[in-house]
Structure 1
Amino acid sequence: MSMIYHDNAVRGHLDLAAVTPMPMPSGPPAGGAGLGELLFAFRRHWVLAIVATLVLGALATAIALAIPNRYQAWSAVLVEAHVNQVLNIDNAAPDVAADDLAVDSEAQVLRSQELASQVVDRLNLMRDPEFTTGLLGGLFGGGAAVNRTVVIDRFLRNLAVDRRNRSRVLQVYFTALDPTRAATIVNTLLSLYLDDQVQRKVQATREANVLLDKRLAQLRADVDAKEQAVQDWQIKSGLVSGATAPAINEQITQADAALGTARDELAQAHARRVAETGDASNAVVNNVLIQHLRERETDIQRRIAELSADIGPRHPTMINLQAELAKVRASIASEIGKINADFAQQERVAAARVAELEQTVRRLRSQSGQSSDAQVRLHALEREAAASRTVLDTFLRRYNETSEQVGLQRPDARILGKAEPPTGPVFPSRAALLGFGWLLALGIGGIGAPALREALAKRGSPLVRIEVIERVAGPALAVVPALTEDSARRIYPHNRPIDEPRGDFAEAVRSARASLLFARADRRCKIVLLTSATTGEGKTVLAAAIARSAALAGEDTLLVDVNLRKPGVHQTLELSNELGVFDYLERGLDVEALIQIDPRSPLEVMTAGQASPSTPPLLTLAALTRLFDELRARYRLVILDGPALLSGAESRFLASAVDEVVLVARGDLSAQALSFALRQLNEAHVASLRVLINRVDLSALQQEAAAAA
């Protein structure tokens, strides 16, 4: 920040020893926007920082405490390929293959909308506020009713199914506001999932039975037709039992009949052995001893399950129970083996009977000595009838098997553990929320609020405007205070160095004059151009005031109006504009003939002259050099009141020919306009450039200085 100089000598020569620098009010520490500015803002607004931090921290605490706890219950289910050990028959509904695709598919089933809809209905979640009003409704109450789809979507958002390490185990998680409700939902979901598997198998089995029933009706009709064909052929060919039939044929017929019966008995014995083999056959199930052993096995398994939560598998009690269980199972297996052996013996007896009758038939037929076309035809019909009967028996057996499966279906998954209500919430972590909330409150309230308050205060801050101008243009030559309308009307600004020499305006003008002359201690003439970015910056008034101040201080000073397009010096100082710079440039008049004396000071003035706007004068470097050489021989300080930079190219041309350029800028001039003016002057390659800040609210500046002190 530049200095404002107080001159103890109001009139006469400038006494440099009497000039004492007074620093401008200091703003934030150097370094621009950064830690220094933040610390400065905190020092100025520390009360606001503390209050804002406490308020925001309290708000963060209230929010953290208001967020409801959310509990997560979980359970696991094992997807396995279930093998039907009850009937040892092919299942009408194929079991789930426990491969990657199947396990992933089961995970999707657990997250399906259909299963979620069943849980919603089972637990009546359509009346649960957690699902009908959502989180905000749960916090503040109320909320409009939602439809079923929204409830199911909210349910699924709280449900998670995770496959554990590519195994066949699926972990099911559910998050809810109530821990008991979370566990209930998980258990209900898994129960419905297993029930759904069983129902799908039962449905598939029933559909298979419907198809088998239709096929059985067709097969029965076919068997009846073929057996009737056999009887019709026997009657037609005479190959029937009776007194008229040959004895051999009657014996063969009897033997064939017996053989057929024996074969049927063999098929039945084989079917019984196959069907009754296993631990769930009717013979096994109805066996009293096996029933007693099954009950004993179930009781031991129940005791093992109850004790497994308290003792390990190596505990003596567990070892004894396991041994007893193995013994019971061995007894069951022994009894089942006896039953299976009995059925096998019955099948062997039937097979021996069939073999014996087949040998008898072969013997009788070999004795007949002849074979007729009728007998061949009869045998063919009998074979067809027997084949159809075999197919019928196969489908009938399959029909009976699938009918029995309806009540024996088991799910292809197993729940590994019941979901228990969680003991603690999974969200939120109140310590983390409180820590983050207070940290955010400290950042916003302790740092952001003072910085924002300082930024808002700086919008109309004269100090900040001065800093912006100096940041762009460098240290200011001086800061000239603004005058109120009444004060300016009472004493014109350019008259204040004369009429009010102790005023702030006059002090600022003397500071600018001292800065201009301080660098020329050799008493050589210095030519200074005052210009501005735009019109209305007050450069003409300041040029007149600085020139008068220098003249009153005893300096040989000349004020020259080089703004030939819009001259204003003659009006400001109330002088004639008949002759001036224009006449020197265009008519070659002598400088002495163009000089006028300021009526209120020793200042000498050269006005612009009567230049025609339609024929502006041509400023040449040679003419300016000649004029400046003459002026340097006569004066120590020459002040040029030039045109604004945006008015034409004359200011840039003049700037390149003078010793120093002073850019007059209002305190509220934008940084963009100032930067544009500086670029224009830099293109002119000026020897020295200073900025003079005009129209600054001095009272506001002093208040800022007091606040910053």
Structure 2
Amino acid sequence: MNSDRAAANDVDVDLGRLFGSLRRHWLGMLLFALISAALVFLLAAAATPKFRAETRVLIEQRETVFTRPQGEEAAVPAALDAEAIASQAEIMASAPILTKVARDFDLASLDEFDTSEPSFVEQFLTIIGMKADPIAVTPEEAVLASFREKLEIYRVENARVIVISFSSEDPRLAAAIPNAIADAYLENQRDARQQSNADATEWLEPEIADLRERVREVEERVARYRAESDLLIGQNNTVLATQQLSEISSELSRARAARAAAEADAQAARRALNGGGSLDTLPDVLESGLVERLRERQVDLQAQIADLSTTLLGNHPRIRALQSQLSDLDAQIGSEIRKIITGLETRAETARQREEDLTAEVNRLKAESARADEEQVELRALEREAAAQRELLESYLTRYREASARRDRDLLPVDARIFSRAIVPQEAYFPKVLPLTIAAFVAALLVGAIVLLLRELFSGRAMRPAYAHGETEAPSAASAKTGTAKPAAASPELPPAPRPLDMEPAAQVPTTPAGLTALDIEKAADRLVANGVTRALFISPEGDEAAAAAVLVAREIADTGLRVLLLDLTSTGAASRPMLETSSYAGITNILAAEAQFADIIHADLYSDCHVIPIGTADPARALSGIDRLPLIMNSLTTAYEIVLVECGVTDAAGIERLADDNTQIFVSLIDPEDEAIEETAEALKEEGFGSPVLVSPVGHEPETVPPGRTVA
């Protein structure tokens, strides 16, 4: 039997019943959506329209080949990388620029920037510490804070473009502010460049003066050292001693060659003279003009003597005279040749002496050149220092002239330009009345549908029992009692089992006491369902027999598909006995005594979909110690079930005080209309502020049979 009860507690979601709730409550959903849409429409129509405009600034290098300082590359500098562009966006949103723009437009005098009267939300945020106290904030800071809320400055991804966007209630102001911020940014950057240029000029002026003095001093040291060291510079920027050494060395080489040639000629002539050889073959003799003329004269005399010898004898005076002239001529030729030989020897001696003189001069110049080289090392060091100081001075002078020219001509281009200025917007970006209204209508429909679906799920109306594998319907009441459940389709001829009651139905509803309303079971159930009552308390002044009314009403409500629970608070368990197989189930006393949980005390009615909590098996005294938990238990049950019925038995107004809430209906079960306890109980409830109770009687109610497919749970 425990397995049957466990199976009875397993449920599935009935999608048909779940989404059927949307069909049943479509009118309410539509009404809620229309009201929400109308409210949003009114709020949007009443809202102040806001306009937005934006200005776009391109960060780029503005220097050209004509304006770029010497030495700078034409490539895009590292200052235009992503981090630098993000930094420029932060500069645009800096306090100095925004403060200047706010003052130029006198934003403090505009109503939309007036924060002297904070709204309720702002006051609440100030109280809880989430917003600064407006009293402690200066007006300028308040205007700046409001300014920042309406301003948006961001960098376009994968581009060197910064967007300045501003929203305002005034379209002209919305367009003017971004343009003013962009202009203020360019002016700020230009001022920064001018200041940097001015600082560089001011720094260069004393530096150039100091460099000029240092260059003069170094150059004086170079000249003084060169003069003291006698390091005179000749051609090709070489020391004079070195240049002379080169020239004398060349001259010595030529002298040596001339001396060797002269000695060779003198030796050849001397050998020819001493050896008796012919001197006419000597080059100097052949080149002598006097010897050549004497030879010609000699040849002429010999020709005359030969001519006269043909006619005259050898002793003829004329022949003798010619021979005498010929002898004198030979003597002259010999004398002249000897002079030539003597000249050759003299020339050789002169060349030898010249060579010796040049050799001595070369040796002297070598020593002088070595000394000059040593001193030139120090001179070069001084010249390098002078050259470095001179180059630095020239560089500073070039920079100074460029900076001065850029300052005088006001030529300091900023690496940014405005390529898209904001224009006055013609259409407000907020509020979009029609889209907001449509969105609100759709959202309200969705919210309503979700709320209804959740309500169906949590109430249990959208749940159905989970059958065992292979079963299509739950077992009938008769099979549940015997423990031999069969599918309903397999036993359609089973006779219906009546609901056991501890009383016999009468033929008609008895007459009620004067002034009180009496309902039968169906009307009482309909009243609870129609009024949306979540909690119903049944009082039975006539004893356990009258508790049948609460059982019948609970079953009637369960037949409508609602999720209903009956809580039996009678001392004898009169309400739960006809619904369960035995009275030994755990119940309300067990949970009050902290001996069980909700899953242990909730059981299924044998003959309906109603759930029941019996009185339980715990010690009554121990259960009474936890009676203060009863209201919490009732709240939990009301959350889980759509209707909770409580059979209180014979009690008074004080006994139900813990159980009632604002949505509670009180019933008094009636069997005998002549019983005075009925009227006394009704009067007592009325006097205690519970109002007039409703009488309900099980008399005349025909028990329904358990239809096929009815689950024990």
The alignment's TM-score, normalised by the length of structure 2, stands at 0.39
Report the structure number with the largest CA radius of gyration: 2
The alignment's TM-score, normalised by the length of structure 1, stands at 0.39
